[in-house]
């Protein structure tokens, strides 16, 4: 799944308007216009499509955390996580969990709404550090299922 697909599905699931998207990017210290957002949301075959890079997507999710939960009171910056091709989905899932204030049982419920039964052990493996022996890489399927469940949760 591309970053643009993720952003498009997340926007639909959470029913985020264009002007709010711009504000969320701004919260994540990225300056974009409404036109930039619309270009990110286009399919890759559409004219004017603009590819969303990993850093901008992570910044968007950091902005979403601020939008949903507010800025940190002590003013400490958000810790930077080294994002690789292998751990991107794990980072996305972790940031969504924080932004939406989900507990383990909420996450399991969302996965179930998306059509996948996941145990608490499997879920915690997705949130472990990469060097942990029980770390599990979050594949595109898990992200798709989670976003599908999120859509069911917020839109139905």
Residues 51 and 103 in one domain: no
Same domain, 104 and 52: no
Count of domains observed in the chain? 2
Does 82 reside within a domain? no
Q: How far apart are CA 13 and CA 3, in angstroms?
A: 15
Rounded Cα distance, 63 and 57, in Å: 10
Q: Closest Cα to residue 94, out of 58, 148, 144, 119? A: 58
List pLDDT tens digits, range 41-56.
999 999 999 999 999 9
Tell whether 46 and 99 lie within a shared domain: no
pLDDT tens per residue across span 124-152: 999 998 889 999 999 999 999 999 999 99
Q: Is residue 22 part of a domain?
A: yes
| Final residue belonging to a domain, choices 34, 69, 104 | 69
* Residue 25, helix vs strand vs coil: helix
Distance, CA of 90 to CA of 129 (rounded, Å): 9
Interior CA angle at 102 toward 62 and 36, to 5°? 30
Nearest in space to 78 (alpha carbons), one of 124, 94, 23, 52 = 94
Q: Is residue 80 part of a domain?
A: no
Q: Is residue 79, in this structure, part of any structural domain at all?
A: no
Q: Is residue 50 part of a domain?
A: yes
Tell me, yes or no, whether 53 and 96 share the same domain: no
Classify residue 30: in a domain, yes or no.
yes
Cβ 114 vs Cβ 145: under 8 Å: yes
pTM for this model (two decimals):
0.92
Domain span at residue 119 reads 88-155
In a shared domain, residues 49 and 97: no
pLDDT above 90 as % of the chain:
85
């Amino acid at each position: 799944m591309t970053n643009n697909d993720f952003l498009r599905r997340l926007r639909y699931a959470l029913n985020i308007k264009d002007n709010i998207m711009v504000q969320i990017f701004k919260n994540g210290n990225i300056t974009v216009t409404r036109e930039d957002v619309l270009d990110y949301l286009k399919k890759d075959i559409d004219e004017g499509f603009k590819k969303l890079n990993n850093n901008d997507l992570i910044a968007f999710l950091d902005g979403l955390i601020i939008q949903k939960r507010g800025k940190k009171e002590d003013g400490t910056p958000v810790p930077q996580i080294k994002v690789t091709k292998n751990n991107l989905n794990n980072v996305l899932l972790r940031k969504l969990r924080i932004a939406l204030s989900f507990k383990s049982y909420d996450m399991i419920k969302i996965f179930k709404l998306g059509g996948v039964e996941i145990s608490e052990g499997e879920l915690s493996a997705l949130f472990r550090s990469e060097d942990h022996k029980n770390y599990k890489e979050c594949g595109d399927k898990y992200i798709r299922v989670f976003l599908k469940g999120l859509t069911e949760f917020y839109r139905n």
